Structure 1
Amino acid sequence: MEILDWIQDWFKNNCDGNWEHGEVIQITTLDNPGWEVEIDISNTSIATMNLEWILNEKSKDDWYGVKIMNQKFIAAGDAGKLKFLLGLFKEMIEKIEA
């Protein structure tokens, strides 16, 4: 399943009449250049999870970081990492729910 299909299904399956009214999934660009993905996990099985910022930087053009804080999954990466960042989220959800 393609990552966008998975994210759409995940969003739809977590809608409860209230949660989806917030800014649940945000994808923004960074000026270095890069991407930032922020996903509200308050309605999920990983809502209580916390993860300090982990940075994996091979070079200024090959990097990503991820953290879970205040019921938000936050990941950022270089301009080629959007699909990868969404995949990190999918991987975390699938591991917890397995």
Structure 2
Amino acid sequence: MDINLDAMNRQELVTLKTRVEKALASLEARRREEARKAAEEAAREYGFSLPELLDKSKGGKGNALPKYRNPKDLNQTWTGRGRQPAWFKDAIRAGTEISDMEI
């Protein structure tokens, strides 16, 4: 694709620059999502969720290992810290024992 930049005025160049930046951001977001999905699929093939495979040895806030797993969607986990996720509350209301959701 040939674009004659020399023939464009300042506003056209600024508009083109803005469109290119948006296109690059969109491309990066799509590629990141594709990579995340591929990583999740690879982890599932080995019987893990992606968070289980991430390095949790760095310490600090947010690095707790999951303690509970949604029996209806094995990709949803909860560390047992902070607010209970909706799927956890729903399962309890439906009669699921907490011990049945422990990992």
Structures share a fold, TM > 0.5?
no
Greater share of residues in helix: 2
Which structure has greater strand proportion? Answer: 1
| TM-score w.r.t. length of structure 1 | 0.26
Larger radius of gyration: 2
